[in-house]
Amino acid sequence: MEMIRVRSSAICAVGYDAERQRLKITFQQGDTYDFCRVPYHIYSGLLEAGSKGNYYNDHIRDRYQC
């Protein structure tokens, strides 16, 4: 999965596998987490969000456990 670097104080990089609907997020602290059954619009919303940390908290955190 290709990881895309993003500008964020909380998130370093994100990747998405559309076939498996798997989202991968690397945080600034160095931890990387996988999220399963994530719709594409959630991934694209994260990329477009002005605050990726807020978007993560509002739309991803505690919702897409593998």
Tell me, what amino acid is at 48? E
State the DSSP H helix or E strand holding residue 29, giving kind and residue range, or none if neither.
Answer: none
Q: Output the pLDDT for position 66.
A: 92
Cα dist. 63→2, 5, 7, 10 in Å? 23, 23, 23, 18
Do residues 10 and 56 touch, judged by C-beta distance below 8 A? yes
In a domain, 25, yes or no: yes
The parent domain of residue 16 ranges over 3-59
Query: pLDDT value at position 38?
Result: 98
pTM (predicted TM-score): 0.93
Note whether residue 65 is domain-resident: no
**Residue at 54 is within a domain:** yes
List, for residues 5-56, the tens digit of each pLDDT value: 999 999 999 999 999 999 999 999 999 999 999 999 999 999 999 999 999 9
- Quick check: is 46 in a domain? yes
Number of domains in the chain: 1
Asked whether residue 66 is assigned to any structural domain, the reply reads no
